[in-house]
């Protein structure tokens, strides 16, 4: 029987008992409908996961007994930072969810010239919290034990100058492709929103050391481009199994 696993920000230590926060307690009690003595896996995003048992389920509290640490990891050897141009609605949600499944380590949502999302009042912080929840749930689902970091929403013009490692941005008009580049241990991917990058943004990215690359001969939608690029770098240089012995 599959054991449910949950992310918690709480400190986890074998032999300790903790009370779940209100959101997780509601999920265990109302959605999963777990009872006393049921087993559950908890992780806090810092590595490893803990086999636990439930010792109390009530309207007042859900209390967990932390029994055993499994210090496993499913992280790629390649560190990937994704700068993702903010797209509308479900496209952005879908992209954030799937790049977590594909092994991204850091995500920065970026405001670009052609961004069609307007942030007024508290909307920016609300969207960030929404995406953070997607990151957490995708980490739970995919079996990862390290929580990818969702950085604060930034502007592309400020973000590009702060990046390290191999830096590439997706451009359907570029001459190079990813397989032309030398194998890195860290890569920063820059993916645009609907409508792509403006000419000025392309120049800003190149001036900051970003290399334009194309993903085949076809123009990809923003949510497709992010997934294709991350899959490609994991295939070439990460943990998808192809290219690991390639001395590029």
What radius of gyration do the chain's Cα atoms show? 20
158 token code pair? 């400020």
CATH 3.40.50.2000 fits 79-237, yes or no: no
Mean pLDDT in runs of 10 for the chain (248 residues)? 89 95 94 94 93 94 95 93 92 95 97 81 88 96 95 94 94 90 94 88 95 89 92 93 47
Q: What is the DSSP secondary-structure string of 210-227?
A: PEEE--SSSPPPHHHHHH
Distance CA 137, CA 133 (A): 6
pLDDT of 243 reads: 44
Identify whether the C-beta of residue 192 lies closer than 8 Å to the C-beta of residue 86: no
Identify whether the C-beta of residue 14 lies closer than 8 Å to the C-beta of residue 68: yes
Identify whether the C-beta of residue 83 lies closer than 8 Å to the C-beta of residue 110: yes
pLDDT of 118 reads: 76
CATH number corresponding to 5-70: 2.40.240.20
Distance CA 197, CA 170 (A): 9
Under DSSP, the state recorded for 2 is: P
pLDDT of 117 reads: 76
Under DSSP, the state recorded for 176 is: B
pLDDT of 161 reads: 92
């Amino acid at each position: 029987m599959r054991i449910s696993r949950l992310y918690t920000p709480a400190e986890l230590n074998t032999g300790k008992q903790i009370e779940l926060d209100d959101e997780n307690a509601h999920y265990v009690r109302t959605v999963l409908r777990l009872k006393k003595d049921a087993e559950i896996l908890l992780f806090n995003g810092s590595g490893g996961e803990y086999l636990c048992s439930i010792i109390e389920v009530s309207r007042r509290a859900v209390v967990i007994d932390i029994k055993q640490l499994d210090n496993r990891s499913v992280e790629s050897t390649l560190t990937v930072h994704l700068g993702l141009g903010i797209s509308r609605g479900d496209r952005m949600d879908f992209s954030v969810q799937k790049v977590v499944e594909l092994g991204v380590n850091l995500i920065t949502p970026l405001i670009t010239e052609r961004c069609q999302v307007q942030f007024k009042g508290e909307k920016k912080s609300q969207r960030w919290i929404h995406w953070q929840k997607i990151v957490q749930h995708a980490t739970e689902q995919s079996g990862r034990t390290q929580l990818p970091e969702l950085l604060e929403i930034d502007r592309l013009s400020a973000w590009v100058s702060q990046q390290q490692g191999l830096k590439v941005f997706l451009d359907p008009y570029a001459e190079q492709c990813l397989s032309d580049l030398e194998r890195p241990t860290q890569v920063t991917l820059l993916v645009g929103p609907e409508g792509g990058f403006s000419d000025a943004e392309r120049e800003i990215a190149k001036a900051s050391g970003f290399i334009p690359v194309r993903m085949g001969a076809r123009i990809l939608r923003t949510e497709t481009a992010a997934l294709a690029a991350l899959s490609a770098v994991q295939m070439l240089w990460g943990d998808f199994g192809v290219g690991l012995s390639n001395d590029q």
